[in-house]
Amino acid sequence: MSFGVFLFILFFQPISLEMLDYNNRLLFVTGFGAITLLVAFVFLILIPLFFPKWFNIISDWEYGPPLGQSILFLVFNTTAFAFYIRYVGNVKMSLYIMFKVTLVNLLPLITLILLYRFKSLKHAIGILQEQKKEYLAKIEEYENSWGENEIDIESENKSDNLKLKYKDIVYIKSADNYIELSYMNNGVIEKKLLRSTLRNIELQLVHQRNFLRSHRTCIVNILYLDKMVRSYGVYSLKLNCCDDTIPVSRQYLLQVKMAISKLE
């Protein structure tokens, strides 16, 4: 702050320095930097240090000096500048000079506030990045554990059932009063018929976001999707684990396209 005030007054000369030679000019301008340093040290460091109960350093200083300290700094620094100009520089004071002096003293405060804002935003971004890492880790953990959960699929007459891990189910097709389950078993696709409806299975999978309804006759696990193809206006899905194709109806075309785009 002090060095900034020194350079600003030296180069822009808001206060006339023509009556001083080069060496005296540097010495005179250095006095403004020294005054700023002293006043800032007293009001921005010493006072909070000796009277910590007056200031909550963490919250009050999050976006820069508290308003009270900023006003004290501005008033005392402007007054000190005015006395320095009048009695050291022998410059006749006027309202115009006082106006310029006040503006000069606003610059370090504005700069300090901007620096604190930048620091606060950087800190907030750091916190958000850490939270993002934690959330992504939890999502990854959930996705890794999701596939190990099992589902019991029973026939309507309770005479037959099949217990499978979610990750092993490839797709389910309806076949009249039966459903055909295609699933992975030790790296090999197997199929089983159960007397049930696709609607019953869909209700069991409703909370499993990895399963996608692509047709009124078919539900597919998006883990095994490769791509969607179109032939003579008819859409179908290619799988990455076998040569089977899954039909896609126009009713479900949009959500299938969205699922495919997320995989790319």
CB 117 within 8 A of CB 109: no
Q: For all residues of the chain together, what is the average pLDDT? A: 83
Instruction: Give the tens place of pLDDT for each residue, 129-181.
Output: 988 888 877 766 665 555 567 888 888 777 778 888 888 999 999 987 888 99
Q: What is the mean pLDDT of residues 71-79?
A: 89
The pLDDT assigned to 35 comes to 92
The pLDDT assigned to 38 comes to 92
Instruction: Give the tens place of pLDDT for each residue, 222-251.
Output: 888 888 898 888 899 999 888 888 999 999
What CATH architecture applies to the domain 151-263?
Beta Barrel (2.40)
Question: How far is C-alpha 50 from the chain's CA centre?
Answer: 38
Instruction: Look at residue 13 and tell me whether its pLDDT is greater than 60.
Output: yes
Instruction: State what percent of residues in the chain have pLDDT above 90.
Output: 18
Q: pLDDT band at 50, cuts 50/70/90? A: confident
Q: Enumerate the CATH 2.40.50.1020 domain ranges in the chain, comma separated.
A: 151-263
Instruction: State what percent of residues in the chain have pLDDT above 70.
Output: 90
Instruction: Look at residue 264 and tell me whether its pLDDT is greater than 80.
Output: no
Report if pTM > 0.75. Answer: no
Q: pLDDT band at 64, cuts 50/70/90? A: low
The pLDDT assigned to 204 comes to 84
The pLDDT assigned to 148 comes to 65
175 vs 98, 194, 217, 222, 239, CA distance in Å? 91, 10, 8, 21, 20
